[in-house]
Amino acid sequence: MDLMNIVRIAKVVALLAFVLPWVAISCSVPGSGTVDLATASGIELIQGRMTANPDAEKQLSGGMGNMFGQPGGSAGADSGLGGAGSGSVTSSVPELGMNFFGIAAAAVILIGLLLSFAGKGKTASRNVLVTSVLGLVLVFGTVWWWKDQIKKQGGEDGGRTSAASSPFGDAGGNPFGGGGAMGAQMVDNMLQERFGYWIAFSALIVAAGAGALGMAGGAAAGVAKPESEPAVM
User: Tens digit of pLDDT for each residue in 137-167?
Assistant: 999 999 999 999 888 876 555 444 433 333 3
- Each residue's pLDDT tens digit, 52-79: 888 777 766 655 444 444 444 444 434 3
Region of poorest pLDDT, from 96-100, 158-162, 198-202:
158-162
Question: What single letter denotes the amino acid at residue 192?
Answer: Q
Give the pLDDT of residue 165: 38
More confident residue, 106 or 2: 106
As a whole number of angstroms, the distance between CA 142 and CA 66 comes to 37
Give the pLDDT of residue 28: 78
Task: Report CA-CA distances (Å) from 207 to 16, 129, 140, 161.
Answer: 15, 7, 16, 47
Handedness of CA 210, 215, 221, 226 (dihedral sign): negative
Query: How confident is residue 173, by pLDDT bands cut at 50, 70 and 90?
Result: very low
Using a pLDDT cut of 70, give the percent of the chain over it: 63
As a whole number of angstroms, the distance between CA 215 and CA 75 comes to 61
Question: What single letter denotes the amino acid at residue 154?
Answer: G
Q: Which long-range contacts (CB under 8 A, 24 or more apart) does 173-176 make?
A: 173/86, 173/87, 173/88, 173/89, 173/91, 173/92, 174/87, 174/92, 175/25, 175/37, 175/38, 175/89, 175/90, 175/92, 176/25, 176/92, 176/94, 176/150
Query: How confident is residue 32, by pLDDT bands cut at 50, 70 and 90?
Result: low
Is the predicted pLDDT of residue 223 greater than 50, yes or no? no
pTM tops 0.75, yes or no = no
Give the pLDDT of residue 164: 36
More confident residue, 130 or 186: 130
Average pLDDT over residues 104-110: 97
Give the pLDDT of residue 53: 84
Give Cα 152 to chain centroid, integer Å. 17
- b/e sequence 171-192, b meaning 16+ C-beta within 10 Å: bbbbbbbbbeeebeebbeebbb
Beta sheet of 21-29, edge-to-edge order = 51-52, 33-41, 21-29, 191-193
More confident residue, 206 or 73: 206
As a whole number of angstroms, the distance between CA 227 and CA 25 comes to 65
Residue 56, Cβ density class (10 Å: 0-12 exposed, 13-18 middle, ≥19 buried): buried
Q: Which of 60, 111, 67 is nearest to 86 (CA)?
A: 60
As a whole number of angstroms, the distance between CA 229 and CA 231 comes to 6
Give the pLDDT of residue 1: 63
Give the pLDDT of residue 23: 94
As a whole number of angstroms, the distance between CA 163 and CA 44 comes to 33
Average pLDDT value over all residues in the chain: 75
As a whole number of angstroms, the distance between CA 168 and CA 177 comes to 8
